[in-house]
Every structure is written in C-alpha cells, then in structure tokens.
C-alpha cells in the first residue's frame, strides 16, 4: 500500500488506505473535472504521465503504485479537506486548496515517502 493513501486516510474517520485508494480511483474514473478551471481529468493525466486516463487509473488501483498530486487533488474534492505538503528535499510548500473554509491535512514529503503531520 502506498504511503500517500495511508497518510491521507489518517485524516478521515473509519477508512483504510486501501479503501481510500479505491474511493480516489473511483472518483477519477467517474468525475471528468478535477481542477477549478474545468480542465478535464484525461488532459491532466496525459500531461502529467503521458498515459490515457483509463490506463492510469487502472495502474493506480494496484496497491503498489505510488500516488501523487492527482490523487491528492481528488482526495481534497472527495473529503472536503485542503492539503498542505511540506517537501523536505527542496523546502517547498505545496497547497491543494479546494475551499478556504475547509479544514487542513498536512503531509511531509521526503522525496520518496509521505507522512501525515499535524502542524504547518
């Protein structure tokens, strides 16, 4: 199981990383819009990965496939939570803001591992 899904699951009551992965993949497969500018998910996935959306989502359903920005954005939309990622390797701070009224999840990214945190 990917550390991203396990880390994000800590911010949602009564869900496992495995169930969260399924929910995110199901969302990506059935919701054509992911960004506020109405760019469709197929365009985003192709731009990020060079893959067709259905191929990418099929790969993402595999428990050993690592998740990233696309899955964080989908998580934010599904669970009405903003996500703040502290990137350790380059000291960047990345915000996935769905709605300024929503609560925040904080993750730390080491370059190859996500970990849930509690402070920004």
What string of pLDDT tens digits covers the 120 residues of the chain?
A: 689 999 999 999 999 999 999 999 999 999 878 777 778 899 999 999 999 999 999 999 999 999 999 999 999 999 999 999 999 989 999 999 989 999 999 999 998 899 999 755
Total domains in the chain come to: 1
Judge whether 45 and 51 are in contact, CB under 8 Å.
yes
Judge whether 39 and 54 are in contact, CB under 8 Å.
no
Give the range of the structural domain holding residue 56, as residue numbers without chain letter. 3-117
CATH number of the domain at 34, please: 3.90.70.80
């Amino acid at each position: 199981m990917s550390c991203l899904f396990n880390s994000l699951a800590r911010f949602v009551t009564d869900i496992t990383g495995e169930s969260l992965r399924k929910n995110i993949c199901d969302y990506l497969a059935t919701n054509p819009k992911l960004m506020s500018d109405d760019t469709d998910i197929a365009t985003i996935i192709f731009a990020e990965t060079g893959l067709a959306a259905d191929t990418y989502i099929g790969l993402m359903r595999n428990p050993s496939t690592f998740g990233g920005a696309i899955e964080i954005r989908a998580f934010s939309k599904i669970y009405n939570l903003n996500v703040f990622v502290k990137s350790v390797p380059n000291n960047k701070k990345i915000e996935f803001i769905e709605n300024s009224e929503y609560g925040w999840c904080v993750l730390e990214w080491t370059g190859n591992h996500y970990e849930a945190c509690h402070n920004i």
